[in-house]
A and B are shown apart, each in its own frame.
Chain A
Amino acid sequence: MSNVPDTTTKVKFIDDFTKLDTAGIQWVINPWDELSLTRALELKDDPSSGIQTVTVAHVGLISAEPTIRKALAIGADDAIRINAEPADAYFVAAQLANVLKSEPYDLILCGIESSDFNGSTVGGMLAEFLEYPSVSSVSSVKIENGQIIITREIDGGKEIVTVPTPVVAIVQKGIAKEPRIAAMRGIMMARTKPLKVVEPVAVEPLTEVQRYEMPKPRAVCKFVDPENPKQLIELLQNEAKII
Chain B
Amino acid sequence: MSVLIFVENWDGKFKKLSFELVSYGAKLAEMLKTEIVVLSVGKVENTELEKLGKYGAVRIISAVNDKINVFDGQAYSAIIAGFAALEDAKIVLLSNNTTGKAIAPRLSVKLKAGLGSGVSKLPLSTSPFTVFKKVYSGNAFSNLIIKSDVKILTLAQNSSEVIETENKGVVTTVPIEWNPETVKTRVNEVQKQTGKILLTDAEIVVSGGRGMKSADNWGPMVELAELLGAATACSRPVSDEGWRPHEEHTGQTGKIIAPNLYIAIGISGATQHLAGVSSSKYIVAINTDKDAPIFAAAQYGIIGDASKVLPKLVEAVKDIKGK
Contacts and interface: CB of A to CB of B under 8 A. Distances in A.
Nearest to B319: A230
A121 B115 CA distance: 8
A211 B317 CA distance: 44
B135 A116 contact: yes
Interface string B268-306: 001110010010011111000000000111111111110
Nearest to A231: B316
B213 interface: no
Contacts of B71: 154
Given A156-B198, A208-B145, A232-B284, A31 B252 contact: yes
A145 interface: no
Contacts of B228: 243
A45 to B, nearest CB: 23
A213 B134 CA distance: 9
Nearest to B197: A156
Interface in A175-230: 205-215, 218-219, 221-230
A232 B313 contact: yes
Contacts of A224: 300-302
Interface residues of A, number: 82
A233 B101 contact: no
A229 B184 contact: no
A122 interface: yes
Given A123-B105, A155-B198, A218-B297, A207 B144 contact: yes
A159 B108 contact: no
Interface in A227-243: 227-230, 232-237, 240, 242-243
Interface string A104-136: 000000001001111111111101110001111
Q: Interface residues of A: mostly helix, strand, loop or mixed?
A: mixed
Contacts of A160: 187-191
Contacts of B185: 133, 135, 161-163
A146 interface: no
B42 interface: no
B256 to A, nearest CB: 9
Contact of B117 (A120, A129, A156, A215): A120
A161 B187 contact: yes
A209 B200 CA distance: 28
A242 B280 CA distance: 12
Contact of B105 (A124, A149, A210, A235): A124
Given A13-B140, A207-B116, A221-B298, A158 B145 contact: no
Interface string A48-83: 000000000000000000000000000000000000
24 contacts: A8-B270, A11-B139, A32-B253, A90-B115, A116-B136, A128-B74, A135-B73, A136-B102, A137-B101, A155-B198, A155-B200, A157-B191, A162-B186, A206-B148, A210-B144, A213-B142, A215-B140, A221-B301, A223-B300, A227-B312, A228-B312, A230-B319, A233-B320, A240-B261
Across the A-B interface, the 4 shortest Cβ-Cβ residue pairs: A124-B105, A226-B304, A206-B114, A157-B192
Given A9-B139, A125-B108, 4 more contacts: A120-B101, A133-B185, A159-B187, A243-B228
